[in-house]
Chains A and B, each alone.
Chain A
Amino acid sequence: MNWNSAGEFFAMGGYGLYVWGAYGVTLVLMLAEPLLVRQRHAEARRAAARTQEES
């Protein structure tokens, strides 16, 4: 085990800002992307439903 406490874990041997800055932004982007895609899919289905009603 590398860490004796949660504080040590978050400090990352003094590199916490760099390590968590890299992981944090990557995590946010990888959570946001599928949510945005899901919205796009829902919007596409609504637009298709409108088109189909008109025809």
Chain B
Amino acid sequence: MAMTMRFFTYASPPRFYALAGALIPWFWIAALVLGAAGLWIGFFQAPTDATQGDAYRIIFIHVPAAWMSMVLYLVMAFWAAIGWAFNARLASMVARALAPTGAMFTFCALWSGALWGKPTWGTWWVWDARLTSELILLFLYLGYMALVNAIDDTRRADQAGALLAVVGAVNVPIIYFSVKWWNTLHQGATISATAAPKMAHTMLTAMLLMTLAFWAYAFAVVFMRTRAIVVEREQQTEWVGELVRAQGAQ
């Protein structure tokens, strides 16, 4: 109980606002440094693929974007559920802040996948399990955003959004395992816990660096959006009053 009390104290909007504000620049620096290193290794150190030529270099954004699209959805569903179950305001705000970034990464995964599919499979799109379930993920993000924006009562909107997010979470394992469960044009998992990586070390390093860069980007931009939502929702409070007066005086 003491633990949860402390958690909710630190999860108070003014504390979060200050802490996130201090962390955001560091996440941007991390995203830039890791991204630059990942692109350098991906384009200048990793060799040309024997079968796919240089088209395979799309992997350095495609796989990290696809991973982020799935991870951010689960994180969004988790915080939406916490906000619903414990009536924790900040958790619901974080859930809302995650949705546009998750949708953006989902779109990037689909877009880069189409541009990779054309030269390697001969088609931009097929209605197979992996691609279709990833498209459904995009619609889940967009549906969540439309739903929470359509309901005026904030708490009710958060609850309805949480229900949609939690039910939709069943789609994430379907995406992940679709390449095992169904016959598909899409290749199998790039990284597996049980098998040695099938790609060159430089390729793997570039992909993991890009994944870390996307993680740092997601933290930075989601913290920024959460701070904006905090100000939107708490605009009548004393602490936001002090905040905007302090900025107005500068």
Give A contacts to B, CB under 8 Å: 1-3, 9, 12-15, 18-19, 21-23, 25-26, 29-30, 33-34, 37-38, 40-41, 44-45, 47-49, 51-52, 55
Contact = CB atoms under 8 A, between A and B. Distances in A.
A51 B221 CA distance: 26
24 contacts: A2-B44, A2-B48, A12-B57, A13-B53, A15-B54, A18-B55, A18-B58, A18-B115, A18-B116, A19-B54, A22-B116, A23-B61, A25-B108, A25-B111, A33-B101, A38-B224, A40-B225, A41-B224, A44-B228, A45-B247, A47-B235, A48-B234, A52-B236, A52-B244
Q: Chain B binding site: helix, strand, loop or mixed by DSSP?
A: helix
Given A40-B225, A45-B231, 12 more contacts: A2-B48, A13-B54, A22-B58, A22-B111, A22-B115, A33-B104, A34-B221, A37-B224, A45-B244, A48-B235, A49-B245, A52-B235
Nearest to B64: A26
B217 A30 contact: yes
Interface residues of B, number: 44
If over half of A's interface residues share one DSSP class (helix, strand or loop), that class is named, otherwise mixed; here it is helix
Contacts of B224: 34, 37-38, 41
B140 interface: no
Contacts of B234: 48
B248 interface: yes
Interface of B: 43-44, 46-48, 53-55, 57-58, 61-62, 65, 100-101, 104, 107-108, 111-112, 115-116, 118-119, 217, 220-221, 224-225, 227-229, 231-232, 234-236, 240-241, 243-245, 247-248
